[in-house]
């Protein structure tokens, strides 16, 4: 079943409240996905700095990691620990090199996402517990996407939770099921896209990354899903400066959106939106089938 929430702020004065607002939205979706949960938050980028969100079930995996990266990869790194996750801050032109080093030298560490603005946190557990574990309510930023998962076709694992990130500052959450993900995964692998799971949603995220690498903007990449992805889906996608939504042509999965002068919001159900500020002044609608909606700063 799964639940999706998303909030894209137009009003910068609301940015300190982003995490609190999204945490409240995510809480309303617990019944739609009690297995695991996750969220991506886009904060203010620091000039010349990149962020790499990493995860490990091994409590000792992060000990001395920044020092190892400095010694073995030759890159200065700061590490901020948050429960089973940590955020490495490195020079932005060294992010790819550090990701490559991590994959080669730290088998107990998984990379959740990287970029200049994005941080991704996801774990197995009840969504309210996951949100509290990573202090979502205290986070600030310009936009965020969250997901509560009810697993139907793959295992309940940390890597199987949403969001999925397959490109810098990109992530995607999904409610639905794709039928052609196996063949599309093979095609994308031939084009150099890396996969961490067998989850169909990761293929959708990789498809968006692939299309944007070809020069498409987020809106056009989302339009491509309508031709190239088979199945049922609501996708909510984040990029460094953008927020997008698309539903498949049948649109059997529930979705509702709201927009006013302060924000654009998405929820699998209206109850995810009811506590947002000035929701009574927002235009509220059900997104149309086979229609792309996207906003950029």
Burial class (CB in 10 A: 0-12, 13-18, 19+), 174: buried
Catalytic residue among 2, 30, 171, 252: 2
Active-site annotation holds for 171: no
Instruction: Map tokens 């927002």 to a residue.
Output: 282
Helices (H), the chain: 18-27, 65-68, 95-105, 127-133, 181-190, 200-213, 218-228
* Per-residue buried b or exposed e for 41-69, using 16+ beta carbons within 10 Å of the residue's own CB: bbbebeeeebbbbbbbeeeebbeebbeeb
Phi (first) and psi of residue 165, to 5 degrees: -125, 125
Report the distance separating Cα 269 and Cα 255, nearest Å: 6
Would you name the residues annotated as active-site residues? 2
């Amino acid at each position: 079943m799964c639940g999706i929430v998303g909030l894209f702020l137009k009003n910068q004065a609301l940015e300190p409240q982003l995490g609190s607002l999204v945490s409240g939205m995510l809480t309303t979706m617990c019944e739609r996905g009690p297995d695991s949960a996750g969220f991506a938050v886009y904060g203010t980028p620091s000039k010349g700095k990149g962020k790499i969100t990493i995860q490990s079930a091994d409590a000792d995996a992060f000990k001395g990691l920044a020092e190892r990266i400095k010694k073995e990869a030759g890159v200065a790194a700061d590490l901020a620990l948050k429960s089973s996750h940590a955020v490495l801050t490195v020079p932005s032109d060294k992010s790819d090199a550090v990701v490559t080093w991590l994959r080669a030298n730290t088998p107990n560490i998984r990379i959740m996402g990287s970029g200049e603005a994005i941080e991704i946190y996801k774990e197995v557990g009840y969504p309210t517990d996951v949100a509290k574990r990573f202090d979502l309510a205290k986070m600030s930023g310009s936009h965020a996407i969250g997901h509560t998962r009810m697993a139907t076709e793959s295992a309940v694992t940390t890597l199987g939770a949403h969001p999925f990130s397959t490109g810098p500052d990109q992530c995607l959450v999904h409610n639905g099921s794709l039928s052609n993900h196996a063949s599309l995964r093979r095609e994308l692998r031939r084009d150099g896209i890396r996969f961490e799971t067998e989850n169909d949603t990761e293929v959708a995220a990789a498809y968006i990354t692939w299309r944007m690498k070809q020069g498409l903007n987020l809106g056009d990449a989302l339009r491509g899903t309508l031709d190239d992805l088979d199945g049922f889906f609501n996708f909510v996608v984040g990029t460094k400066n953008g927020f997008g939504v698309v539903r498949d042509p049948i649109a059997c999965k529930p979705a509702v959106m709201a927009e006013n002068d302060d924000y654009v919001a998405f929820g699998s159900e209206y109850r995810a939106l009811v506590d947002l500020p000035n929701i009574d002044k927002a235009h509220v609608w059900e997104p149309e089938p086979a229609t792309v909606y996207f906003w950029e700063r």
